[in-house]
Amino acid sequence: MTPFKYFLAKNTSDASFLFENHPRASFIAGGTNLIDLMKENVSRPDTLIDINKIPGIDQIETLNNGGLRLGALVKNADTAYNEIVRQKYPLLSDAILAGASAQLRNMATNGGNILQRTRCYYFYDTAVPCNKREPGSGCSAVGGYNRIHAILGASENCIAVFPSDMCVALAALGASVNIHGSQNERTIDFMNFHRLPGDTPHLDNNLQSGELITSIDLPPESFNAHYSYLKLRDRTSYAFALVSVATALKIEGGLIKDARLALGGLAHKPWRNTLAEDFLKEKDPIAANFAEAADIILEEAKGYEHNAFKINLAKRAIIRNGLTAANLKKI
Amino acid sequence: MEINENDVSSRMEEHSISIKINGKQITLKTQPWVSLLDLLRERLNLTGTKKGCDHGQCGACTVLIDGKRINSCLTFAIMYDQASVTTIEGLADEQLHPLQQAFIDHDALQCGYCTPGQICSAAGLLMEGNAHNREDVKELMSGNLCRCGAYTNIVDAIMVVKEGKNDSF
């Protein structure tokens, strides 16, 4: 690990000030991903700015519009087990609990979860080319062993996938991300937060240098009657998704009135396709309709040497999870 | 404070932290890149906490911070100023902790290397109160690997303590 300097930020403006004076710094909260990357020399910040003691961004609070604000510093476990989240946004709770281990969820924060980096093994291996780690060096996954890699939205420069479960639910729920910068505060819609790799795979998201996530807002519509998170992986716990699906439905009079389908493990960001969601509106929640929605989403899918199985797996996951969400009896 | 970027000694700067470890308040100086695990093992000689993968994947380094279980390998000691850490050495008082006794009673180990982490994790699991049955215990213990494969007996031991049946065993 490269030695670094350490500062404890007192508040958000102090964090911004410290960053301005140490432009090669990283902010650290839970650190579960960053420290691992530092041990592997993938990340080499010369300074860490510890944001754990910043007041005011470590709570979950109800918003005036009926939504919910999740502080960036709230731990993943505290979010998943929060009574309001469990009752009102069970999809989010289930997705968080499908990820990582109990220990990691006790450490990892909501802001950090959004900012976690791909687990592509070539990204982690500093001995091989990787455009995300070293722009312009090439992609070892294209033409390499790419079983865990993307089938949607990839580019010739990068076929890495974004590993978060929590973010798949946040995408489905239509969350937004509140950001503090040294000049201004701003909010980004969740689907505009993460990026596709394109020609700039080193950029995971649209957060600018020095900006800090302060909270995540959930809209009032919570889909707590018909929802399901399905995660398919190589072992049944404590592994990243090969394919995951967050399905949220609004059903009235037996017909789907609103549908959200977000996919994980398939792309450089949580994947949504509004054409497929619109297709489901006013339809019966039956397998044939979920299959057609899956076909709309996967029409543009492209398999590589070792991951083409994900296309079929994703389709079956979308159908199964749609039926699970539709037939859910609890509220 | 002015820091000369080229001055190696300032880059090697040590910070003073005060941590309560197994009930005892300790003040010491640490470099910022020392993991909590290395601080416990190398500085404080608390070698009960094990280093397995050093990547947060095996759970051998599990300790309790203010009652919550974490991977001590994936965090810097400097981030725990004023925190309270409990390691395997601090679980027992006069008698073994019920989980320690249950692990012995149920033969919940072979080589024992993962055991301190398993027991600290199980202690955290019981305090968190989110496990309601055997399946929950298995799921919520998935962050602790046992390469000897003593899982069945580990879950047996935890279930006995969870259900308060340790004395009747």
Q: Determine the average pLDDT of the residues in A184-197.
A: 98
Q: Give backbone dihedrals phi and psi of B148, rounded to 5 degrees, phi first.
A: -75, -20
Q: Determine the average pLDDT of the residues in A169-193.
A: 97
Q: Measured between CB atoms, does B44 come within 8 Å of chain A?
A: no
Q: Where are the beta strands (DSSP E) in B11-152?
A: 15-21, 24-30, 62-65, 68-71, 84-86
Q: What is the pLDDT of residues B92-117, one digit of tens each?
A: 999 999 999 999 999 999 999 999 99
A chain contacts of residue B15, beta-carbon cutoff 8 Å? 6
A chain contacts of residue B31, beta-carbon cutoff 8 Å? 3
The whole-angstrom distance between A124's CA and the closest CA on chain B is 12
Q: Is the pLDDT of residue A64 over 60?
A: yes
Q: Measured between CB atoms, does A6 come within 8 Å of chain B?
A: yes
A318 is written with which tokens? 């979308």
A chain contacts of residue B68, beta-carbon cutoff 8 Å? 77, 106
Instruction: Return the number of other C-beta atoms located less than 10 Å from residue A145's C-beta.
Output: 14
Question: What whole-number distance in Å separates Cα of residue A282 and Cα of residue A285?
Answer: 9
Q: What is the pLDDT of residues B37-81, one digit of tens each?
A: 999 999 999 999 999 999 999 999 999 999 999 999 999 999 999
Q: Measured between CB atoms, does B76 come within 8 Å of chain A?
A: yes
Q: Determine the average pLDDT of the residues in A267-274.
A: 98
Instruction: Name the residue facing B130 among A28, A81, A107 (closest C-beta).
Output: A81
- Displacement of CA A156 from its chain's centroid (Å): 22
Q: What is the pLDDT of residues A231-251, one digit of tens each?
A: 999 999 999 999 999 999 999
The whole-angstrom distance between B120's CA and the closest CA on chain A is 11
Q: Determine the average pLDDT of the residues in A23-28.
A: 98
DSSP 8-state symbol, B60: T
Q: Determine the average pLDDT of the residues in A291-310.
A: 98
| A328 band by pLDDT with thresholds 50, 70 and 90 | confident
Q: Measured between CB atoms, does A52 come within 8 Å of chain B?
A: yes
| Residue contact A107–B130, C-beta within 8 A | no
Q: Is the pLDDT of residue B82 over 70?
A: yes
Q: A187 forms bridges with which residues in the sheet?
A: A178
pTM: 0.96
Instruction: Name the residue facing B74 among A31, A50, A238 (closest C-beta).
Output: A31
| A76 band by pLDDT with thresholds 50, 70 and 90 | very high
Q: How many CB pairs under 8 A join A and B?
A: 85
Q: Is the pLDDT of residue A79 over 60?
A: yes
A chain contacts of residue B35, beta-carbon cutoff 8 Å? 35
H helix runs in chain A, sequence order: 12-21, 34-39, 76-80, 83-88, 90-97, 102-107, 110-115, 121-124, 166-173, 274-280, 287-298, 309-327
Using an 8 Å Cβ cutoff, are A253 and A182 in contact?
no
Q: Measured between CB atoms, does B54 come within 8 Å of chain A?
A: yes
Q: Specify the pLDDT at position B2.
A: 47
Q: Measured between CB atoms, does A101 come within 8 Å of chain B?
A: yes
Q: Where are the beta strands (DSSP E) in A168-211?
A: 176-180, 185-189
Q: Among residues of chain A, what percentage have pLDDT more than 90?
A: 98
Q: Determine the average pLDDT of the residues in B128-148.
A: 97
Q: Which amino acid is at A107?
A: M
Q: Give backbone dihedrals phi and psi of B75, rounded to 5 degrees, phi first.
A: -155, 150
Strand-pair category, A47-50 with A25-28 = parallel
Q: Is the pLDDT of residue A222 over 90?
A: yes
Q: Measured between CB atoms, does B16 come within 8 Å of chain A?
A: no
Query: Which residues are CB-neighbours of A22 under 8 A, at least 6 positions away?
Result: A5, A7, A46, A47, A49
Q: Measured between CB atoms, does B89 come within 8 Å of chain A?
A: no
Q: Specify the pLDDT at position B12.
A: 60
**Taking the C-alpha atoms of A143, A144, A148 and A151 in order, what is their torsion angle to the nearest 10 degrees?**
0
A88 is written with which tokens? 């009102």
Q: What is the pLDDT of residues A35-58, one digit of tens each?
A: 999 999 999 999 999 999 999 999
